Amino acid sequence: MPEIASRNHIEAISRVMKKALKEAKVNLADIDVITPTYGPGLVGALLVGLSYAKALSYACGIPLVGVNHIEGHIAGNYITYPELKPPFLCVMMSGGNTQMIHVKTYTKFEVLGKTRDDAIGEAFDKVARVVGLGYPGGPKIDKLAQKGQANIQLPKTHFNEDTLDFSFSGIKTAVIHLNHKNPEINQADLCASFQKTVTDTLMENVIKAAQKTRLNVIALAGGVSANSYIRSEFLKLEQERI
């Protein structure tokens, strides 16, 4: 809900900024550059952050440098894995974006495929809401799925053309219909089946992308990459010859 998100950003941004400074044990005088996200994302929320950053930059005389949201997610891997260097494949998966990216250099990227409808995180959130788990859906589906079995057949979207694009609206809709038609359905099994089908869709395109680019280094980015099942399936690729 973009309007609610924007209002909550306005209410929280100053408090969050001050808390971040406190936890980092620094003050504004110690900051060299202010780097707000300028996109992509929800326009209203982006405007709140960008406006706040501009005002802070002007008031404190600190330089302002806009940051691309997706590039920031990718760059997060360099913090966790300092030895990581381009080129590599990065699977970007979050609440608003799902992309397969060829990271050619630290500043040069090629999007090989992207979602044509729902982002993967959006699908997780909508399914979680329908089955009564609430928000945020990703961690809650992940936890409940561990108690179930992926024994429910769910559809995967396949495109006629040669593409690395994704689609998650079909599986989301299928889960919603199943849940409505059969209120007694095992929720843990439903979540496990949804999670597996979504992951299988990701993995199929990752393997295609690796074969196409001949790259054997794959990085994950975005909040959905914290999903334990998705991570375990990607780790299995280390044991396989792509």
The verdict on 116 and 56 lying in the same domain is: no
Q: Distance (Å, rounded) from C-alpha 172 to C-alpha 154? A: 9
The verdict on 21 and 136 lying in the same domain is: no
The verdict on 201 and 124 lying in the same domain is: yes
The verdict on 91 and 194 lying in the same domain is: yes
- Residue pair 215/87 in contact (Cβ under 8 Å)? The answer is yes
The verdict on 176 and 190 lying in the same domain is: yes
pLDDT band at residue 241, thresholds of 50, 70 and 90? low
The verdict on 54 and 76 lying in the same domain is: no
**Of 65, 86, 105, which marks where a domain is finished?**
65
For range 232-242, the mean pLDDT: 75
The verdict on 55 and 82 lying in the same domain is: no
Question: What pLDDT is stored for residue 161 in this prediction?
Answer: 81
pLDDT band at residue 68, thresholds of 50, 70 and 90? very high
Q: Per-residue pLDDT tens for 6-32?
A: 999 999 999 999 999 999 999 999 999
The verdict on 206 and 117 lying in the same domain is: yes
pTM over 0.85: no
The verdict on 57 and 83 lying in the same domain is: no
**What interhelical angle do 228-236 and 187-213 show, nearest 10?**
40
- CATH number assigned to the domain comprising residue 194: 3.30.420.40
Residues in CB range of 212: below 8 A, 6 or more apart: 112, 164
Does residue 162 register a pLDDT over 90? no
Q: Distance (Å, rounded) from C-alpha 212 to C-alpha 36? A: 34
The verdict on 111 and 137 lying in the same domain is: yes
Strand-strand pairing, 88-93 and 98-103:
antiparallel
Residues in CB range of 103: below 8 A, 6 or more apart: 74, 86, 87, 88, 89, 90, 109, 219
Domain carrying residue 10: 2-65
- Residue pair 39/69 in contact (Cβ under 8 Å)? The answer is yes
Strand-strand pairing, 37-39 and 67-68:
parallel
For range 91-120, the mean pLDDT: 92
Alpha helices in the chain (DSSP H): 2-24, 43-60, 69-80, 120-130, 137-145, 169-181, 187-213, 228-236
pLDDT band at residue 242, thresholds of 50, 70 and 90? very low
**Of 38, 65, 92, which marks where a domain is finished?**
65
Does residue 71 register a pLDDT over 70? yes
The verdict on 46 and 105 lying in the same domain is: no
**Of 19, 40, 65, which marks where a domain is finished?**
65
In eight-state DSSP terms, residue 101 is E
Q: How many domains does the chain have?
A: 2
The verdict on 55 and 159 lying in the same domain is: no
In eight-state DSSP terms, residue 6 is H
